[in-house]
Every structure is written in structure tokens, then in C-alpha cells.
Structure 1
Amino acid sequence: MYYFDNAATTVQKPPAVAEAVYEVLHSGLYGNPSRGAHGYSLRAYELVLEAKEQVKSLFSAGQDYEVAFTHNSTTALNLVLKGLVRPGDHVLTTMWEHNAVLRPLYQLEKEGATVDFIGSDARTGQLRYEELEQKLRLETKLVVCNHASNVTGNVLDISRIRAFCKAHGLFLVIDASQSAGVVPIDVSDGTITAICFTGHKSLYGPGGTGGVCIRRDAPVRPVLTGGDGVHAFDHDQPGGVPAILEAGTANVAGIAGLSAGVSYIREHWQELQRKQAVLSDYFLQGLQQIPDLVLYGDVSGPRVPVFAVNFPGAESTVVSDILWETYGIATRPGFHCAPLLHESLGTKEQGAVRFSLSSFTTRDDLDAALVALKKISALQR
């Protein structure tokens, strides 16, 4: 079997990830962090703090930033967007966005905010960055954007977005679900308000982990409220980042695994970057040689190893089923929770077949996929 659905979740992890989770669950030594002064609680608390430092180092975040752990990037995006945007505020976002951004924004629109979308090219999916200035308003407060598309694999020109936000004093929220651990992200200049990340994809962590690296001075209001282990008699959730984002008990075992995944990436950063670039280039060249295959996105620009393809007239679900049932190749068909980008690419009806790689993908995996696609192409003609 060949796994090409890493943009959804990685199934192959560094051994240290499972070992870290097992240690917490098996040792009987890790209690509830911040819920006691005994050794079990303090040991868990120290583990969570160390994990936060790992994440901050990955993003080159200084003392102006804190990390809050959540279940995934969807939770983090909801907490940040709903915590920052108020009725009357205007938000700029893009056609690249995942429903993890779109649906919170649609909800905020119903509550009095307004949203405008930066368009994308129908052929390449590339953003029309000039629309940022064109759609700016006096009440614009925040820009939220997907750092790397989970459909085309193209990477946002984050430098241009940062310059725009800095020039106009706007909050900038980045969805790094596809880029964290693959593309260098440096928040040290302070222009990014929050980076929302998920653990179970290119950070090689367990499912149900993720979080946000956020500026300490971000004026977020609480979305989820509950226990914090300290201010028991307060009616309101204790303020300040990161506590205001961390109601309830932390997933200590999952955070241990996530920390091990991030540590692995930091230790092997150059090797992983080089390997994924070589695999991505090899696969891209192979795809471009297959007759009748449509490849979406800008093939010349920076990218993460995500590729969306189609055969004209063939439903993406049918092609994906053939790949699995006949060749044992796992892909993701359909719309990838990114409806606006599929509308822009003209794939609203057909969807697309997505191949997504990881550093554990091999050349043999790629060759098997290319051979299968060539055989399907021959059947189409």
C-alpha cells in the first residue's frame, strides 16, 4: 500500500513520538498540569512548558509570544478569530481558505462583522495581491490567510502580506496547517499576531493536538471558559495570553508526542527540507509527463508537497477509488474543505484527486503512483 494523504494526517511518525506518548501513559508519573503542587502535577507542567518552548523555537518566536495548545488548528483558529473580531470589524481573507477559517468568518458575519476575499487566478490559483489595497477599509482590523494551500500546494507570499499588515496596523493570523514543519516560519519581527498550527500533519504529532503561537499583547476575549486551576472564585475567565485560551485540562500525552515530533523536525531540519524538495520535484516532473492529466496550481512557484490533479471528464472520486482498489494508493478526492478555491479553479463539480507527500514518502511510492496514473490515462483515451 502507498499513502498519499499526508495533507489530511501523517500516518508515519518518528518512533520518538509514540515513545513519548507511551511514557506519559505507561509511567504513571504525569498528573494534571497546573492543578496541584505535588510532583505528578509539576512533572506534567514542566513537560507542557518544554513543549511550548519547542514550538516557539520552531517559529523563531521571542519573549513577545506565547503558545497555547488546543485540539487542532481548527480550534486554534476559532479561538483566535472569535477572540479578536468584534461586530463592525472588517476582515480580509483569501480564496485559498479552508473551512476552518471560512466557517468562523461566516459566523462572525452573522454577528455583525464584514468579510472580503482576495481573489485568485482561475488557471494557477495564485492570489491577486493587489486586491489587498483595493479592498482595505477604515474598519479593516485583521487579515487571516492560509500559508500553504491544501489543494494546490502553493505557498503564500507571506512577506507581502506582512508588509501590508504592518503598513496599515492590522492583525495578521496565519493558518499554518500545511506549512508548519515544512516551510520556514519566522515571527521574530512581531508582524504576525498569531500562527495557528495542527500537530497531526507535518509536525508528526498525534491526532487531537495543535495550538497557536500568539503575541502576548493580542487583545483576545475568551471563547471557551472553564477551569484554570487557580482563580476558582472568579466569574470571568482569567485574562491574558496564553491562559485565556487554555480553559480545561491539557492533553499531556498528546503534547508529549507533539513535542517529540517538533524536536525531530528541528534536529533534522535541513535533511527533511532537502528530501521533501527532491521528492516534490521528482513527482512534479513525472506528473507533467502524463498525457491528459490536469495539474492545478502554479508549478513554478514555492510549494509544499501537495498536488491536485484530474483527468478531463472523470470524477475525482472514481479516479481515487481506482487508485485505491486497483493499486493500493491512498489519495484524497473531492473538495478538501476549500470550496472557494475549487470554485476559482473550475473544479466545483468534479473536485480533484490530491496527492500529498511527507518526508517518509519514498521514490518507490512516487514511481508506483506515476505508473498507476499513466495506466489510468491510457484507459481514458
Structure 2
Amino acid sequence: MILVTGGAGFIGSNFVLDWLVQSDEPVVNLDKLTYAGNLNNLASLNQDPRHIFVQGDIGDQAHVARLLAEHRPRAIVHFAAESHVDRSISGPAAFIETNVNGSFALLEAARAYWSALAAADKEAFRFLHVSTDEVYGSLGPDDAPFSETTPYAPNSPYSASKAASDHLVRAYHHTYGMPVLTTNCSNNYGPYHFPEKLIPLIITNARAGKALPIYGDGQQVRDWLYVSDHCAAIRRVLADGRLGEVYNVGGWNEKANLDVVHTLCDILDQLDPKAQGSYREQITYVQDRPGHDRRYAIDARKLERELGWKPAETFESGIRKTVQWFLDHQDWVCDVQSGDYLKWIDKNYAQRASQEIA
């Protein structure tokens, strides 16, 4: 049995689904079901006894302690986090509450549980913390990619809150001897991606005939990682990672945001063409967000060298699969495009559209 936090979100739900394809080991899935947590992501597991869903908050230490005592997992895989930079700029308090205070409460519950285990179970236990490359800050155009020894320099409330949680996890290993592992990943994309992030936003807006908003000049560079490749990396680190170590997970796919949008438009022109013209005609440039990091890039050689992992998907293969998934799952898209999501999109991009720069 393993315990997964945030397993109804984008990466977490993909991990749970992939885990139960790869293994019969049951999963206890703890998720608060905030705006980005979606049980529809896990609908295929509704009748699967290997999946035990529990709605709850990682910050509720007593609740987590009860779950650990009841299910006695051999590992915790910690995805639960507020993760959208724009939301962290307009409302940072939720990011401190979940990513810092919530991770602290989870670590405390895990430490108490682990400390009381029998010797063999204690030795086998693992706490795997899933983090982001954004903790390293921003790279110049000619800088080497982020490695596991790159100094932390977070530039947004989101990345600062994740950096804090990374430091807590490290401290619990060095102070208490807790068997922890940390992964820092680059930008993920793929099925079940909530449509406030760049790739799903562009796909859904394009098909709806809406503007395709590009921050600034669109030359911000990101390293793109297909979500199933990320999930495979986490499984490898959980199985054989060295305790206390950090492993960077990247796709070796550096792309400027504008190039990503052009690629998405071109694939949509092929798979779901408009009656007239190209989806590229919907591109609109809007005011850049404050403190927007210019470039991220991951050096994932340590993970390949030590554990034999490397991504299975190229950007070209993964992005085409992603577009096709969104075209094939319009019911899922319609379900998430309601309520708080629409209010957030309107608030964030309407304000920027009034200050177009192109």
C-alpha cells in the first residue's frame, strides 16, 4: 500500500492511473478537491478496489495520522500543492498554507508514523516529495541547465513556497533520519491538464474561437516533460533512489512559449481544422506577468546515470498525443470549464488584454 497526496490533480491522477496499470499494489489517494482536484480524472477506477479515495487536507495532521495508522502504507508520494504562478501572484496566502504549512503537517504525521514502525518496515519506508524546477529561479540564454546542486533562487510566491517545502523535506532527513527523496521536474503536459496552464488553455481557447493569449514577447523558454514520463521517473526514484537525494526530471525539450503555441495551432489545423484560416490567427499578445522567469532547463543526467531513466516521448510525439486526448475528451473539458475556473480565466486574462503590447 502507498499513500498519494494530491492524487486527483493533474500529475497526481496520472501517477495513480499509471501506478495501477504497472502494479497491483493499492493506493490510498488523499486529495482536498480544491478547484484543480477532479474526481473525473479517476473515473476509470470507480469500481477498482485497489484505489481508496479519501477527501481531506494534508494540513489536518490528525486526519493524516489516522489514515497512516489505518492503512499502514510503505511509502508516501507527496504531490499535493498549489501550483499556478499567476494565482500565487494574486493570492499568495493559499500557497503558503498548502505548500509550506501543509507539507510541514504531513511531514510531522509521517515522522511519527515512521518512528513507530518495526525495524524492517522502518527501513523500507519512503517519503517522496514532488517539486519543481522553478525553485532554481531563471536562466540566461547561454546558462547551463539546472542541476541538483544549482542554488535556489525562487522568484514567485509559488516557487518560494515550493522551495520552503523542499528545505523542510531535506531537514527532516538530516535532523531525524527520515528516508526522504525529492524530485524537481520541468513543465509537465498531457492528459487531464487543468486548462489554466499554457498548453491546455491554448487547445481549449483555440477550439472555442477565443484569443490565444501570449505573455510578453512569447520567448520565455521552458523544458517540456510528458506527464507519463514524469510518472515513470517517480516510480524509479521511489524504487531505487538514494535516501536524502534530489533527482531532477526533465524532458530535454527546451521550447519558447510562442513556438509551443505555433505547434499546437499547426496540429489543430491538421486534426480539427477551422472552416477558414489557421488557428494562428487567434494569437494575441498581452502584458507579461510580474517577475516572469525567462528560461528553465533541466539537466536530468543524474537520474539517467544512477537509475536508468530517460523520457520515452519526444516533444513532437507527446504534444500530438496531448492534442488528440483533448479532442477526444470534450466532456471532461466542458466539466472543468465552469464556476471558479471561468472566473479565474476572465479575471487574469481580461485585465492583461486591456494592456496589449502588440
TM-score normalised per structure 1: 0.26
Greater helix share, structure number: 2
TM-score normalised per structure 2: 0.27
Q: Which has the larger radius of gyration?
A: 1
Q: Which has the higher contact order (CA 8 A, sep 6+)?
A: 1
